[in-house]
Amino acid sequence: MNNTSCPQINFDFTGRFLPPVYMLVFIIGLAANGWGLKSLLHNWKKLGNINIFVLNLGLADILYLLTLPFLVVYYFMKSRWIFGDTFCKVTRFCFNLNLYGSIGFLTCVSVYRYLAIVHPMRVMGRITVTHSVTISVMVWLLVSVQSLPDMFYPKTSTNNAGSCFGTTSKFHVEDYLKYSLGWTLTGFCIPFLITLGCYGHGIVVLCHTNTIDKVLKQRSLKLLFILILLFSVCYIPYHVLKNLNLWSRVLSKQRICHGWFSQVYVARQISRGLVCLNSALNPLVYLHGNEDILAELRQLVQRACQMFNNSSNSGRVPVAQTEGDV
């Protein structure tokens, strides 16, 4: 993007914005996902079909969260990647596995919920844990195949202080834009439409059926809200701004300049921070689907409140009575 005809974009915003977000997501995400996975494994005998997908969702989050400290070091060093070209590609590959794996497993949860609501008699006893495990393996394979071409694009550049690109260098940006558009269609748009269709029809059925338990209705509506939150905050802005930023880079390389290039770049960096929040927000699916975790959370909150009250009371100094008090 460095050419004489277009004004230079200030890249300092990335180094100021992303490291605090990454550190916050790393701490919260690791604690939340670790707790959620521990609870799932503790109740392994009760593990249902949907919880197989939730388990894989947590593993995808952990895989990505472990790469965040290296990215924090990268941005603190003013975008100097010191860990080598191979590990740069591995880090970006883990991000893509987490992102599109999360979307894939959330889509599976949506389909299973849809079948349980709309066609309960047809699927009762026919969908087993083996089916869920097989589908999970297929999701991992599909996401890996979609993400693999990304690793063949150059990710580091000695001419740019050893940067580790989230996409690729300017020399391959045209080809990468085509790949990114196809990737967005297959990895995001199609799963998003499937999820939207499943929950849209499912909610219509719930609203027009009086025989379905009210608790099931409430859980389905809560899960719909969680998915809308994830897609609206994390996934939609990221994909729109990623491709828009790539397009601006293609235009800039062709010496076609527009005033919105800088604004798109800043918005793109914000979307990168938002999309990594999915690793901290995905545990909401644990909280929604597992009553044991909710009970543990209530106990922790109650214990914290009791400890706070006890410490406050112990810190008070009793006032000595005087003759006037008597």
Instruction: Note the pLDDT of residue 324.
Output: 33
**Rg of the chain's alpha carbons, rounded to an integer?**
24
Of 305 and 139, the structure prediction assigns the larger pLDDT to: 139
Fold of the domain built from segment(s) 12-294: Rhopdopsin 7-helix transmembrane proteins (1.20.1070)
Spell out a b/e string for 79-118, using b for 16 or more CB atoms within 10 Å of the CB, else e.
Answer: bebebeeebbbbbbbbbbbbbbbbbbbbbbbbbbbbbbbb
38 pLDDT higher than 90 = no
CA distance 313 to 326: 24
In the chain, where the domains are located? 12-294
CA distance 185 to 189: 5
The tens digit of pLDDT for each residue in 209-266 reads 766 667 666 777 777 777 788 888 899 999 999 999 999 999 988 888 888 888 999 9
Q: What is the mean pLDDT of the chain?
A: 81
Instruction: Note the pLDDT of residue 116.
Output: 79
Instruction: Note the pLDDT of residue 258.
Output: 83
Share of the chain above pLDDT 70, in %: 79
1 pLDDT higher than 50 = no
The tens digit of pLDDT for each residue in 257-293 reads 888 888 999 999 999 999 999 888 888 776 665 555 5
Read off the tokens for 57: 């969702």
List the beta bridge partners of residue 157. Answer: 163
Cβ partners under 8 Å of residue 90, min gap 6 = 67
The tens digit of pLDDT for each residue in 93-114 reads 999 999 999 999 989 988 888 8
Which is nearest to 248 in space by CA: 240, 238, 256?
256
Spell out a b/e string for 134-161, using b for 16 or more CB atoms within 10 Å of the CB, else e.
Answer: ebbeebbeebeebbeebeebebbbeebe
161 pLDDT higher than 70 = no
